[in-house]
């Protein structure tokens, strides 16, 4: 087995050595690692550090393929290039300011025993800044993996946000990605949402692995910490996520399924767009796109005779949106979503 690890690099000289060395630490005679490093035209000393780590590597089971963008093209394009050049049986994404635990790949590979055809293995991550364990809530067992080969169950877990939606920390069968042409949307922030939605929709089986496998660095220079400077792009990205979701509802056995869960999932991302829009504003094109998806959500709920969803979605519009701006409402958003889902 060969695992292709894809690592985009941009302005991470403080973290990148730790990231690459965590990949090298996976060395094992049961699998090979193809480490694909994509230099997204980083202006700092990150690539000099990467080259130093590679030059001093003495092992045999990890090979390196370093790619260079001549101009900065963004995270989506860097990951897409990595996917296209990868030759491994499985893909594994790491953000270059993060790192993986020493036995991450051994843990994942051991999950194939008895389940050799599994498409996706999902691990657990720890947020470094506050030691918050983002444990996949459907797997509360400390030692046994949870295997899901029911397509409906997989989609339901995605729509109800009970399975991790980040692209990193997952061992993904490469043929699943290539055969279904699952690539990232260029220029979009939070591009993981659409990508993992497509990936889970195409997967026949998913396994939730036990144990800690990934350390997420809450990097203060990342996009999630600079909303004011990139607010329009963030609102645009969330609006495009919702637009894609509404145009691509889940289909099971040839029929559109999970209307309530699907529209509440889309509404969740709409709320994020509205929150940023109310705080920072957006350009005319993005504003019109946001208005359009809000109207579509409300119209769909009305046409499908879902009165509780209609009432809930009305909160996106004046004068009811005063509720949405309240701290109490936002703090209980997940609870409200669950209640509306049960009533719909």
Asked if 167 and 192 touch (Cβ cutoff 8 Å), the reply is: yes
Answer positive or negative: Cα dihedral of 77, 81, 84, 90: negative
pLDDT at 218 over 90: no
pLDDT at 225 over 60: no
Distance between CA atoms of 202 and 155, rounded to whole angstroms?
A: 10
Return the SS3 of 212: strand
Inside any domain, residue 152: yes
205 and 263 in a common domain: no
Distance between CA atoms of 236 and 81, rounded to whole angstroms?
A: 24
Q: How confident is the model at residue 127 (pLDDT cuts 50, 70, 90)?
A: confident
pLDDT at 128 over 80: no
Give the residue from 166, 187, 216 where a domain finishes.
216
158 and 11 in a common domain: yes
Structure tokens at 215: 């350390």
Inside any domain, residue 21: yes
Give the residue from 168, 193, 216 where a domain finishes.
216
| CATH assignment of the domain containing 58 | 3.90.550.10
Inside any domain, residue 22: yes
What pLDDT is stored for residue 231 in this prediction?
85
What pLDDT is stored for residue 217 in this prediction?
83
Query: How much of the chain, in percent, has pLDDT values that exceed 90?
Result: 74
Mean of pLDDT values over 292-297: 97
Distance between CA atoms of 85 and 82, rounded to whole angstroms?
A: 5
211 and 236 in a common domain: no
Q: Tell me phi and psi for residue 68, to 5 degrees.
A: -130, 125
Inside any domain, residue 40: yes
Q: How confident is the model at residue 136 (pLDDT cuts 50, 70, 90)?
A: low
Residue range 45-68, pLDDT digits in tens: 999 999 999 999 998 899 999 999
Number of H helices and number of E strands within the chain?
14, 12
Inside any domain, residue 221: no
Inside any domain, residue 131: yes
- Predicted TM-score (pTM) of the model is 0.93
Helical H runs in 205-332? 231-247, 259-280, 284-303, 307-313, 321-324, 327-331
257 and 132 in a common domain: no
161 and 270 in a common domain: no
22 and 148 in a common domain: yes
Domain range holding 199?
2-216
Number of domains within the chain? 2
Give the residue from 216, 234, 259 where a domain finishes.
216
Inside any domain, residue 45: yes
100 and 50 in a common domain: yes
309 and 176 in a common domain: no
308 and 279 in a common domain: yes
178 and 238 in a common domain: no
What pLDDT is stored for residue 227 in this prediction?
60
Question: Which residue is it, tokens 């194939």?
Answer: 112
148 and 34 in a common domain: yes
24 and 161 in a common domain: yes
Inside any domain, residue 235: yes
């Amino acid at each position: 087995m060969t695992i292709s690890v894809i690592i985009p690099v941009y302005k991470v000289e403080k973290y990148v050595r730790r990231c690459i060395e965590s990949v090298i630490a996976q060395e094992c005679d049961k699998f090979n690692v193809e480490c694909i490093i994509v230099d997204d035209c980083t202006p700092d000393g990150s690539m000099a550090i990467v080259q130093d780590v590679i030059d001093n590597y003495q092992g045999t089971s990890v090979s390196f393929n370093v790619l260079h963008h001549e101009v900065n093209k963004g995270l989506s394009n860097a990951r897409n290039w990595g996917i296209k050049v990868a030759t491994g049986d499985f893909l594994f994404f790491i953000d270059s300011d993060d790192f993986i635990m020493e036995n991450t790949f051994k843990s994942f590979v051991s999950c194939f025993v008895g389940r050799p055809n599994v498409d996706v293995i999902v691990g657990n991550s720890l947020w470094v800044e506050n030691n918050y364990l983002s444990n996949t809530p459907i797997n509360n067992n400390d030692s046994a993996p949870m295997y899901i080969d029911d397509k409906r169950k997989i989609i339901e877990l995605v729509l109800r946000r009970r399975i991790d939606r980040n692209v990193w920390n997952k061992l993904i069968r490469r043929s699943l990605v290539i055969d279904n042409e699952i690539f990232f949307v260029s220029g979009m922030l939070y591009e993981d949402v659409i990508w993992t939605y497509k990936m889970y929709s195409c997967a026949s089986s998913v396994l939730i692995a036990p144990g800690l496998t990934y350390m997420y660095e809450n990097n203060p220079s990342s996009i999630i910490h600079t909303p004011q400077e990139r607010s329009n792009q963030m609102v645009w990205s969330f609006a495009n996520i919702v637009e894609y979701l509404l145009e691509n509802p889940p289909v099971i056995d040839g029929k559109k399924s999970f209307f309530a869960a699907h529209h509440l999932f889309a509404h969740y991302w709409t709320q994020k767009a509205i929150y940023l829009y109310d705080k920072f504003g957006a350009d005319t094109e993005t504003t019109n796109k946001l208005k359009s998806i809000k109207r579509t959500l409300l119209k769909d709920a009305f046409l499908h005779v879902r009165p509780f969803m209609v009432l809930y979605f009305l909160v996106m519009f004046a004068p009811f949106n005063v509720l949405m701006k309240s701290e109490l409402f936002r703090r209980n958003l997940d609870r409200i979503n669950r209640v509306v889902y049960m009533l719909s």
